[in-house]
Structure 1
Amino acid sequence: MKKILLAVDGSETSLKAAEQAKKLAQAFGSEIVILSVAHEPELHIFTEGAFLPDIKEEQAKILKARIIACEKLAKSIAEENVEKGIKVDYKVREGRPSDEIIKEADQEPYDLIILGSRGLTGVKRFVLGTVSGKVANNSICSVMIVK
């Protein structure tokens, strides 16, 4: 196993996934590429008293803050791995997490994608699906989902 794609979002399960990636990279001498995706906030057109330009401006501010948070998270995890002697790189993307993870996996020769399960249940899981489920079902390489 030469190259691992680690998808992180800051959740408890994604941090557990980062630990698993570190263990596998140490055991196999693998490179880790960390991917953190800033998803665009939903546009709520029916917000009382708000104008569309105001909402779009607020949406841009939220996205910028999410990009900065993703950058900090990915950099922090990368630094922890570098300290352990693991070759690591990180990327930050904007978009739908499942789409961006699949796109990244299609563009590079990854042997494994590791990501956390977010634990959606009931109706939310049925309607929205899960990032991990979408990645597992649409990825061209193996996927490890960490709980």
Structure 2
Amino acid sequence: MSAYQTIVVGTDGSKSSLLAVQRAAAIAAAFEARLIIGCAFYDSEKSASETLRQDSVQVLGDETAQANLAAAKEAAEAAGAGRVEAEVRSGSPVDALMALVNEHGADLLVVGNRGINSLTGRLLGSVPAEVARQSDCDVMIVHTVN
């Protein structure tokens, strides 16, 4: 197995997503990899409700996303990651994560498991399941919720 050089992880500000950030940060520290933390946001409640994903936290507005990223970056640095970057993206979490993975040529995408075992997740899809289907890099789904 080759060393990971660029790791992407998403956050929505929830406790579950911060656990995924901490796991990604520990891996980044072990491989001395660059860690990119992304946060997707919606401009309005209407665009957020159109996603139909009740299993995910829907971040409204750029300011909320920036606050989520600041907390996640602090958690990542506390977990030992040395090279941490943070980026916001307008739109759905899946689209934002896939854009970050592709733009940065990530070797690993880390997501939490929230929604993967819910009824909504099984019927409509969940963020972790969808990024695992779309990603060309390794995907680690961290057990963050029961």
The interval holding the TM-score normalised by the smaller chain is 0.7 to 0.9
Contact in 1 for aligned 2:39/2:96 (Cα 8 Å): no
Bigger share in helix: 1
Match of 1:125 among 116, 121, 127: 121
Residues 1:43 and 2:51 are matched in the alignment: no
Residues 1:5 and 2:5 are matched in the alignment: no
TM-score by length of 2: 0.76
CA-CA distance at 1:64 after TM superposition: 9.0
CA-CA distance at 1:94 after TM superposition: 0.8
Alignment correspondent of 1:67: 62
Residues 1:116 and 2:119 are matched in the alignment: no
Q: Distance in 1 between matches of 2:35 and 2:7?
A: 5
Q: Distance in 1 between matches of 2:74 and 2:101?
A: 22
Alignment correspondent of 2:98: 102
| Range moving further from structure 2, 68-77 or 82-91 | 82-91
CA-CA distance at 1:30 after TM superposition: 0.9
CA-CA distance at 1:19 after TM superposition: 1.1
Residues 1:32 and 2:22 are matched in the alignment: no
Residues 1:146 and 2:142 are matched in the alignment: yes
Structure 1 unaligned blocks of 5 or more: 45-62
Structure 2 unaligned blocks of 5 or more: 48-57
What's the C-alpha RMSD, in Å, of the aligned pairs? Answer: 2.4
CA-CA distance at 1:74 after TM superposition: 0.8
Alignment correspondent of 2:76: 81
Determine helix, strand or coil for the equivalent of 1:90. strand
Q: Distance in 2 between matches of 1:64 and 1:145?
A: 21
Match of 1:18 among 18, 21, 26: 21
Contact in 2 for aligned 1:2/1:29 (Cα 8 Å): yes
CA-CA distance at 1:12 after TM superposition: 2.4
What is the letter of the counterpart of residue 37 of structure 1?
A: A
CA-CA distance at 1:80 after TM superposition: 3.8
Say how many residue pairs are matched.
129
Contact in 1 for aligned 2:26/2:81 (Cα 8 Å): no
Q: Distance in 2 between matches of 1:121 and 1:25?
A: 27
Structure having the higher Rg: 1
TM-score by length of 1: 0.76
